[in-house]
Amino acid sequence: MQDEGLDVQSARNADHFGMLIHHLALLRNKRCLMAYVHKRSEIIQSLSWKLGRVLPEEIEQKLSDPEKRYFKSHSSALRLYMRELGGLDLTVDMVPPKDPYIKVRVLDDIGVTAMGDRDTNLARHSIHFLKRTDAEHYIFQGMMEELLG
C-alpha cells in the first residue's frame, strides 16, 4: 500500500520534471528569438539616426514588414522629439567639429540645392567648399566624400 503511494508520488515527480524541461526549453527558445529580433531592432534604430526617414532600396528589401513599420515609427518618434525641442536637429554634428567649412567631392548628381543663402549646383564630381552641417547628411548617405588636405 505504502509502496504504491511512493510509486504514484515518483511518477508524478517524473511528470513534473519532464514538464519542467519542456517549459525551460520554451523559455530558451523565446530568449533566442527575442535576442534575434531585438538585435535587428537595434540596427534599425541606428539606421533611423543615420539615414533619416527613407531607406535605400537595398536595405528595405532585407527587412520584414514589421521591421519596415518599426523603422517608420521609430524615426518619426525621433523627429517628433526634435520638433518638441524646438527644431534642434540631433542627427547632424555626429563628430566633433573642427572647421566650420569642409571641402567635399560630390559622388552623385544631387542637382541645384540651396546652400546657405545661395543655390549651388551639386553636379557629380564637382568639388565644393561647404558648411560642415550642410554637407554632413550627404556624406552619411554616401552622396559626397570629404576631401582632405
Partner 1 sequence: MANESGISMDDFESLMATSDVELLKKAWRNEKSAPEILQFQTSLVQRSLEQIQLMEETIEEFSKKGFDPLIVSIYQMDLDRAQYMLRSYLRIRIQKIEKDTVHIAKTDQWDQLSKEEQNFAKRCYENMKGYLDESVLSKLPSGYQSDLKQSNASEENDMVPEPNSDTFVFCKSDSSIGAIPLDDNADEIVDLVADDLYVLRYKSIKPFVENGQIDLV
Partner 2 sequence: MANYFDIDDILSEEELIPVVFQKAATGVGLLDPSSETNNIEQGAKVELPFWLAHELHTRQAVVMSIPPCFNQMTRKEIQADPASVDLRNRCQYFYELGCKIAPMVGDRTIGSFLLYALKNRYKEVISKAHTATFVASTKPLTLLTKEETHLCEAAQSSMAAFKKWRMGGSRFETPSVLGKRKPSE
Regarding 134 and contact with partner 1 (CB under 8 A), the answer is no
Choice from 21, 80, 112, 147 touching partner 1 (CB under 8 A):
80
Strand residues in 38-142 grouped as ranges (E): 101-106, 111-115, 118-122, 127-131
Residue 3 CA from chain centroid, whole number: 63
Rg over CA atoms, the chain: 28
- Look at residue 69 and give the partner it binds from partner 1, partner 2, none, a contact being a CB closer than 5 to 8 Å depending on partner kind: partner 1
Regarding 97 and contact with partner 1 (CB under 8 A), the answer is yes
User: What is the grid cell recorded at 120?
Assistant: 549651388
* CB 128, CB 120: distance < 8 Å: yes
Q: How far is the CB of 39 from partner 2 (least distance, A)?
A: 6
The span from the CA of 90 to the CA of 141, in Å, is 16
Regarding 88 and contact with partner 1 (CB under 8 A), the answer is yes
- The candidate with the shortest Cα–Cα distance to 132, out of 94, 106, 88, 83, is 94
Amino acid sitting at position 57: E
Q: Which stretch binds partner 2 (CB under 8 A): 68-76, 77-85, 111-119, 133-141?
A: 133-141
Give the contact letters, 52-91, x = binds to partner 2 (CB under 8 A), - = no.
Answer: ----x-xx--------------------------------
User: What is the grid cell recorded at 23?
Assistant: 517549459
Binding site residues, partner 2, CB under 8 A: 10-11, 13-15, 17-22, 24-25, 28, 31-32, 34-35, 38-39, 47, 50-51, 56, 58-59, 95-96, 98, 107, 136, 139-142, 145-146, 148
